[in-house]
Every structure is written in structure tokens, then in C-alpha cells.
Structure 1
Amino acid sequence: MRLWSLKRYLLLVVGILLLMMQSVSPVMAKEVGKSMATFIPVHGASTISVKGEISLTFRSKVKLANGEALTSKKAEMIAALIDARTGKKLETTFSWSPTKRKLTLKPVQPLPYQTDFAVKLLPGTVKDAEGKLNGAEEARFTTEPREPEFLIASTPSNLAQNVAASSSITLTFNKTIQLPSGKPITKSTWAKAIKITDKDQKKVNFEPFWDAKSMRVTLDPEGNLQAGMHYMVVLAEKTLMDRQGSKNGQFSFTFTTAAQQDLIPPAVTFWPANGSKNVSLNTNITLQFGENVVAVNGTELTNAEVIGLAIWKDEHGGLVSYSATWNKQSRTITLRAKGKLAPYTAYTVLFPGGLIKDEAGNMNRSTQITFSTSGK
């Protein structure tokens, strides 16, 4: 009898359990977690722009778990942006597009660089058309590192000396740049952004050539630069921007072109002039140089040095004996004949080439004059 009662009791318990399972099974089906969304950025993404899109898009139409329609104001109930380092929830604004089934999250404060974040869809907060609730979903991503500061290399370098007057000017940037408007750089950009002036503030016109691949602009001045001139190149501030929105500061450099090379031999002027007539019998011959000169071996000229440099002959080929002096201040050699010259006689004075040189090393060329004396 007791055994029969026990069997009846067990059957009753089993029956009750079956009824309970039948009554709760529909509810349990609705609570099964389900993946419902795709994320931007995708899980595991790195070097994400700190201003990039953060969103999740549902694969089908959804409502809040309580059956109400999802709105931008109620979106904070279902999603969150988390700092993965601290677990702190970031203050975020939400924008819900029912037609696109897309929820966009925008941080109130800019995201820091090179930091890990997680976009989370909180479990059990939305349900699909079948009434199934979502499971916990998230996508972790890392923001991009901060761009380096603007660095610009110039050719010529700052304070460069003896730059060839025919040189072009280049500026090379250390990162990708664009206009502050976000538009790409064009040839006309540089005409507005860069100014070249000489020491007298005279503007130098130039033609720019931009190579976006190497991030280099070449400035070709109109004609050659002036020799021995000091120049300044200025790139105005806030005329360029990197892809993270940082703008350049003012950049400037100066350089000096090489002095014009002197290739002209030192000129000499005679008195009396070539072809003079009726020259006094007591006249002196002077040779004046147009620039500072020294002996061909580099030593300073002296009275002793200049004696014998010139060859003075009469019309018969006889040598005229003379003394000579050198005046450094006036750059003049003076020849004085020892005794009077012969009347009505033609004379020749030759200053041979290669005897003296100027400061640039140019040696004199051979120069000769003739003159004739008067009767007294």
C-alpha cells in the first residue's frame, strides 16, 4: 500500500513539472540571447580616427524589450561606449535612424589617441519581430596614435651661405598635409602661403611645383636670384593641416647667395693716353688700376716691386731708364724718366700681362700705349 502511494506521488510530481515546463517554455525562448547587430568600428580594429564613426546597425527591425519604439532619447538604455582601460562609461549622445536601423554614438568629449574602447549592446534591452531578446554584444577598437608635430626641412638650410644664385628652394614636410578646408593642396596654394623677400623687402616671384607623394614643394624663382643677396622665406601659419586637424605654425628661414664671381682682369688706364701728341719733355707716365691689385705671387706692391715692370722705349727701340713709385691708395704706378725725353720723338710704354692680379686672382692683360713729344 505504501509502495503504491509512493508511485502515485512520484507521478503527480512529474506531471506538475511537465505542466510547468510547458507554461514557461515560450518565455524562456524569448530570453535566449541573440546576436542582432554589426558594429563600426569592427571588433579588433586599430588606428581608428578619434573623429571616426561609432555605430551599430541592427540586422532587422527591433523594439525596446518592453515593446516601446526605440528613439534617440531612449538609446542610452541599450548601448554604451566604454573606456576599456578604466571600465568607465563615456558621456555620449545617441542618434537613432529607424529606416537604416542604425544607432550612432558620438562622444561628448574627443576620444584620446591610442586608447582602447568598447562599444557595447547591453543584453536583454531590445527584441526582434519574433520577440527574441538580444544577447550581450560588443566591439573593441583602438584609436590612432597622435600625429607628430609639424617638421619642415628646407633647402637651402637656415642661415646657409654662398648659395648658388641659380638655386631653387624646397620645403619637405614630415607627414601628409592638406588645406584647412580639407581640400587637397594645389599649385595656387603655395603662391598664397609662401613669401620670398630679399633684404630690402622686395618680393621674389616664383613658380611652385608640388609633389604630393614625397610631400615636397619646389619653388623656382623667376630668373636667377641676385648674387650676394640675403633672402628670407616665410610659410604663413595655419595655412596647412594634417589629417587629424592640427595646423602648421609659421615657418621661416634665411640664406645668402654667393657673391658674383669676378672673372674680369684688372684694367689699367695710362696717362698720357694712347696716341697723345705734343707731350712735355718732362712728363711722367702714370698707370692707374681700376681695383686693388697685388704682385702675381700675392705679395703687396712696393716701389721696389714696380721698378722694371713697364718697358719704356723710344722710336728707335732704345730703352728709357726710369724710376718708379707705387701709391696703394690711388692704385697708381708713376714712371719718371731719368733726364728729359727727346723732342719730336715717339715713345712706347708696354705693361706686359701676368705681372699683377686682383683680389679674385685675375691677372692683368698686356697693355701698350704710344705718344709723341713736343719740341720742348
Structure 2
Amino acid sequence: MKKMSVRWLQWVVVLALFLVPSQGAWAKSANEWGVTISPADKSAEIDPDQIITLTFSGPVSLKNGQELSDKSGLSIISLTDAKKKKVRFTAKWNKTNRSIMIDPEGNLEAGASYRVSLMAKKVKDQRGNLNPELTSTFQTKQPVDNISPQAVMLPGHGAKNVRLQDKVTLQFAEEIILVGGGVLSSKTAGPLVRVTDEKGAIVPHTATWNKSKRMLSVKPKGKWQPHTRYQVSLITGLVKDTAGNHNQAQWITFQTGSK
């Protein structure tokens, strides 16, 4: 009985010794590695031009024992978008700080999700432990709209021989509302524009707002006078887009024909 116990104990010791190297070759969790990834996992509102950084808490080398380098950073790190499409980047290894800086080629897309990964079994620590896959997902800031709403005005500036029955149209590329918060309609659109003749006199006009087309149509009360130059102006600061940007002044001048 004692001989069997001793023999069984010997087998346990041998088995334990056999398992030690295999356990040492693979770190069980990311915490054992102490790798810090910036931006942190599940971060939001990240600037599209931000540099991505992976910092190791201790000395590391490549799986084959060679030192890390700028070039090796490209083969051990993956950067993908929400569709799992690879994003091209440059890598910079800082030996002193034990960090890899990832700089995407061009800014990342605004309002998009990304995933940066240190791929599994690419580097090892001083004990010979190979890394598990370490990842961080983050989202960039939504694009900032700071462009004033503008209208395409027809007829074009400097047009000649404009027909007396034609309307002037102002079409906006985005949704607009009145700065004061009122509803934009044909009843409220009249003050948005000013119409003057070649002598600078105010020309009474009507304005019609088409919400679906985002178009303002302007015509004089009656018809344009033949062989007359007119100016139609969009008054500054009376409408704004959904981001709160106020419109700037716009105007066109045109010459009517004989009929």
C-alpha cells in the first residue's frame, strides 16, 4: 500500500512538472499582462484624429525573442471598423515607455465605431508568457456642423433676359427653421427676402415656402418690368439649421428681357 502511494505521488509530481511550461506559455487573462489601451474599452466621444496607444507594464519581446519595432507593430496589432474592415495605420514603438503608438492613415470617420486589438500569441513577457488577445472598442465623436445654411438661388447671379413671369427660387440643402422658433411657412417667409430694382426702390413681393423641397419661391406682386435690373437678397440671420447655425446674407442680380 505504501509503495502504491509513493508511486502515485511520483506520477503527480511528474505530471505537475510537465504542466508548468505549458501554463507559463500562455497568460490566463489580460490582467496578468497589465496592458493599457487608450482609448479605453467602450469609450465614446473620441476625437477622430486621436492617436491610439498600447502601453505594457513590463518588458516584452516578440514571440521569437526579437525586440519590438515600428515594423513589428503592423503585424501584431489590428485596427478595424464596425464592418470588420481593416484600417491602415502607421506604428511607432517607444522602447523607453514600452508603448506602441498607432496613427491611422488620415483621420478616423466621425461618429463611427472601431476595434483595436493586440492579436493573441504575438509577444511574450520576461517569464515567457505569450499574450492573450487584448482588445478595446471605442466610438468617435459625431461630426460637428458649423457651416451656415446656404441656398442655391436661381436665376443665376448676373443672368440676362429673364422672363417677366419667372420666379426667383432659393433652395436649401438642409432643413431650416426660423431663428425665433416660429414655423417657417408661406405666411412667415416673406420677410426673409428683400427685392429691389435698379434704383434701389423696394419691390413688393410674395414668397411661397415648399417644405418638402426646402424651396422658397419669390415673385413680384404682378410681373417684373421689362429691361430692368433687380436684386433679390436673403436677409442674414433670420433662419438656422438644426445644428443652430444662422444663415449669412446672399443675393443675386439679374436683368429682365422684353417679355
What TM-score does the superposition give when structure 2 sets the normalisation length? 0.78
Asked if the contact 2:35–2:56 (Cα under 8 Å) also holds between the matched residues in 1, the reply is: yes
Asked if the contact 2:71–2:91 (Cα under 8 Å) also holds between the matched residues in 1, the reply is: no
Asked if the contact 2:91–2:102 (Cα under 8 Å) also holds between the matched residues in 1, the reply is: yes
SS at match of 1:190: helix
Q: 1:208 aligns with which of 84, 92, 104?
A: 92
- Structure 1 residues 63-93: Cα deviation after superposition (integer angstroms, max 9, x where no partner): xxxxxxxxxxxxxxxxxxxxxxxxxxx96xx
The answer to whether residue 105 in structure 2 is matched with residue 218 in structure 1 is no
The answer to whether residue 151 in structure 2 is matched with residue 268 in structure 1 is yes
Give the corresponding residue for 1:293: 176
Q: 1:280 aligns with which of 144, 163, 168?
A: 163
The answer to whether residue 213 in structure 2 is matched with residue 333 in structure 1 is no
Compute the displacement of 1:300 (Å): 4.5
1:232-247 matched pairs, under 5 angstroms: 232-247=115-130
SS at match of 1:303: coil
Asked if the contact 1:162–1:259 (Cα under 8 Å) also holds between the matched residues in 2, the reply is: yes
Moved over 4 A (4+): none
* 2: CA distance, partners of 1:158 / 1:315: 64
Q: CA RMSD in A?
A: 3.0
Asked if the contact 2:91–2:100 (Cα under 8 Å) also holds between the matched residues in 1, the reply is: no
* 2: CA distance, partners of 1:315 / 1:187: 68
Letter of the 1:231 partner, please give it. Y
Q: 2:49 aligns with which of 138, 141, 166?
A: 166
SS at match of 2:188: helix
Label 1:182 to 1:314 Cα distance change in 2 as closer, same or farther (>3 A). closer
Letter of the 2:147 partner, please give it. I
Give the corresponding residue for 1:343: 226
- Greater Cα offset, 245-254 or 306-315: 245-254
- Structure 1 residues 321-344: Cα deviation after superposition (integer angstroms, max 9, x where no partner): 222221222111112322223222
* 2: CA distance, partners of 1:215 / 1:333: 61
Give the corresponding residue for 2:200: 317
Label 1:211 to 1:340 Cα distance change in 2 as closer, same or farther (>3 A). same
- Structure 1 residues 315-374: Cα deviation after superposition (integer angstroms, max 9, x where no partner): 233222222221222111112322223222221111122222223333222111122223
* 2: CA distance, partners of 1:186 / 1:279: 69
* 1: CA distance, partners of 2:65 / 2:200: 87
Q: 1:305 aligns with which of 188, 198, 216?
A: 188
1:98-117 matched pairs, under 5 angstroms: 108=14, 109-110=16-17
SS at match of 2:32: coil
Label 1:313 to 1:183 Cα distance change in 2 as closer, same or farther (>3 A). closer
* 1: CA distance, partners of 2:67 / 2:214: 63
Number of equivalences: 240
Mark the structure with the bigger radius of gyration: 1
* 2: CA distance, partners of 1:112 / 1:176: 25
- Structure 1 residues 33-60: Cα deviation after superposition (integer angstroms, max 9, x where no partner): xxxxxxxxxxxxxxxxxxxxxxxxxxxx
- Structure 1 residues 274-317: Cα deviation after superposition (integer angstroms, max 9, x where no partner): 22223232222211112222222455422233111111112233
* 1: CA distance, partners of 2:173 / 2:95: 49
- Structure 1 residues 237-270: Cα deviation after superposition (integer angstroms, max 9, x where no partner): 1112233333221122222323443333222122
Asked if the contact 2:169–2:216 (Cα under 8 Å) also holds between the matched residues in 1, the reply is: yes
Compute the displacement of 1:112 (Å): 11
Q: Which runs of 5+ in 1 are unaligned?
A: 1-89, 92-106, 114-145
* 2: CA distance, partners of 1:177 / 1:332: 63
Asked if the contact 2:197–2:230 (Cα under 8 Å) also holds between the matched residues in 1, the reply is: yes
- Greater Cα offset, 296-305 or 249-258: 296-305
SS at match of 1:170: strand
Q: Which runs of 5+ in 2 are unaligned?
A: 1-8, 21-27
Asked if the contact 2:185–2:209 (Cα under 8 Å) also holds between the matched residues in 1, the reply is: yes
Label 1:233 to 1:278 Cα distance change in 2 as closer, same or farther (>3 A). same
- Greater Cα offset, 272-281 or 222-231: 222-231
SS at match of 2:75: helix
Asked if the contact 2:58–2:125 (Cα under 8 Å) also holds between the matched residues in 1, the reply is: yes
* 1: CA distance, partners of 2:132 / 2:254: 72
Identity of aligned residues (%): 34
What TM-score does the superposition give when structure 1 sets the normalisation length? 0.56
